[in-house]
Amino acid sequence: MTLHPAPGLTHSDTVLILGGGLIGLAVAHQLARSGRPVEVLSRRRSEAAGFVAAGMLAPHAEGLSGNLLALGQASLAHIPAWVAQIEADSGLSCGLRPCGIVVPFATSTERDIYPTVTWGEALDRHGLERELPGIGPGWQAGLLFRQDGQIDNRRQLMRALERACVELGVRFQEGVNVLELLQEGNQLAGVRVRDAAATVKIVQASTAVLCSGAWSAQLLPKLPVFPVKGQMLSLQGPREALQRVIFGPGTYLVPREDGLLVVGATSEREAGFTEGLTPFGQRQLEAGIESLLPQASQWPPMERWWGFRPCTPDEGPLLGNSPVQGLWLATGHHRNGVLLAAITAGLLGACLSSDGGSAEQQALLKPFRWDRFSS
């Protein structure tokens, strides 16, 4: 098959990034820093999970285990340097805050069997009250993970990453819906897109990175990626009213430095791509606030929003090569896209380098192959 691109859309050595969310921008930034020409194709940036998430950096507070914990810990260790580079390239702050995260429990028995208990500092009721003044009376024990933290992804990180990409020469096509992957044999040859003017075009490329989040399987049905809807809200509290993130069961409270409290998140596996807020979902969040930090129930509401997490059967990402030669994967991050953005960018940069990355990088990638569910 011979492809005939529209004028100005020929990309011989350009790497296409299919998706302009957090993961797409992180990979684009990494590749551009290595000198690769990069172009990002993005449909609607506001729907990206990176704009929806609360920005927790919490491999320990989340209770991750096995290979996913190792990946999260590697990313957490790399985040300060990654953020510093983005800030240097963009001139903007990313809002990184190593504030620590507390996981509360009803009993010390529940605390002591938590998967990551060995990485945390055990708290009794007195310790909880010291770390989280005003915490609800139903919580009698806790774990403080001082190494975990947060980043202001919605207001700062996404904007800084985009600016950094622009400064490094990354090109953007906004309002572009990627309709189809085009192949010559098993080799990627390009993509068919519909642009903002509803014109269908072909973009030629032999290398691309699929960063389409919950929509990834629409382009490559072999990928076991499906959406998990999450609803969130925010409140405006007093500055410094809450210093630590509270990671409760089903609800978490993430305080920004200016007092904004981000509250999340429902986990709706049966919702598909159904948009919009629901009374049930919002009541669930409000009940969580009342249980975890009753005083926050009186704080003024600010925003309410929803989004779609890209989930896989084991809730781990799909990283590295794909069934199509030249198409690389960086998707399926579920709840941990913000945490894993730094390591994902580094690993995909290594995949596309001349040596394919170090032995350590290859070891991190191996458990997250796209075909691991069929073996």
Give the rounded distance of the alpha carbon of 299 from its chain centre: 28
Burial 169-181 (b: 16+ CB within 10 A, else e): ebbbbeebbbeeb
Which residues have a Cβ under 8 Å from the Cβ of 169 and sit 6 or more positions away? 32, 37, 38
Distance separating alpha carbons of residues 56 and 49, to the nearest angstrom: 13
Model pLDDT, residue 46:
62
Q: How far is CA 2 from CA 39, 183, 189, 194, 289, in A?
A: 22, 10, 9, 19, 58
Alpha carbon of residue 130 to chain centroid: 31
List, for residues 96-123, the tens digit of each pLDDT value: 999 999 999 999 999 999 999 999 999 9
**Collapsed DSSP state (helix, strand, coil) of residue 312:** coil
Long-range pairs for 89-94: beta carbons < 8 A, 24 or more residues apart: 89/29, 89/33, 89/163, 89/164, 89/167, 89/168, 90/160, 90/161, 90/163, 90/164, 90/167, 91/163, 92/156, 92/159, 92/160, 92/163, 93/156, 93/160, 94/151, 94/152, 94/156, 94/157, 94/160, 94/161
Selection from 327, 318, 334 nearest residue 224 by Cα: 318
What average pLDDT does this structure show over 78-98? Answer: 98
Q: What is the pLDDT of residue 11?
A: 47
* Residues 303-314 pLDDT 10s: 999 999 999 999
Angle, CA of 334, 336 and 342, to the nearest 5°? 125
pTM, full prediction: 0.94
Region 231-239: mean pLDDT is: 96
**20-34, 76-90, 305-319, 353-367: which range is least confident on average?**
353-367
Q: How far is CA 261 from CA 209, 291, 293, 322, 374, in A?
A: 34, 15, 11, 39, 42
CA nearest to 71, candidates 347, 375, 292: 347
Rounded to whole angstroms, how far apart are CA atoms 296 and 300? 9
- Tell me whether residue 227 is exposed, middle or buried, using C-beta atoms within 10 angstroms of its C-beta: 0 to 12, 13 to 18, 19 or more: buried
Model confidence at 375: pLDDT above 80: no
SS3 310: strand
Predicted confidence (pLDDT) at residue 2 exceeds the cutoff of 50? no
Classify strands 207-210 and 226-236 as parallel, antiparallel or unpaired.
unpaired
CA distance 118 to 24: 34
Among 195-199, 296-300, 337-341, the range scoring the smallest mean pLDDT is 195-199
Backbone torsions φ then ψ of 110, nearest 5 degrees: -65, -40
Confidence tier at 47 by pLDDT (50, 70, 90) = low
Q: Where are the domains of the chain?
A: 1-97+149-225+312-375, 98-148+226-310
Mean pLDDT of 225-236: 96
Average pLDDT rounded to a whole number, residues 225-249: 96
- Contact (Cβ atoms closer than 8 angstroms) between residue 309 and residue 214: yes
| Residue 199: DSSP 8-state | -
The class level of CATH for 98-148+226-310 reads alpha beta
Q: At residue 280, does pLDDT exceed 70?
A: yes
Q: What are 173's two structure tokens? A: 């096509």
Distance of CA 75 to the CA centre of its chain: 12
Q: Which fold has domain 1-97+149-225+312-375?
A: FAD/NAD(P)-binding domain (3.50.50)
Q: How confident is the model at residue 10 (pLDDT cuts 50, 70, 90)?
A: very low
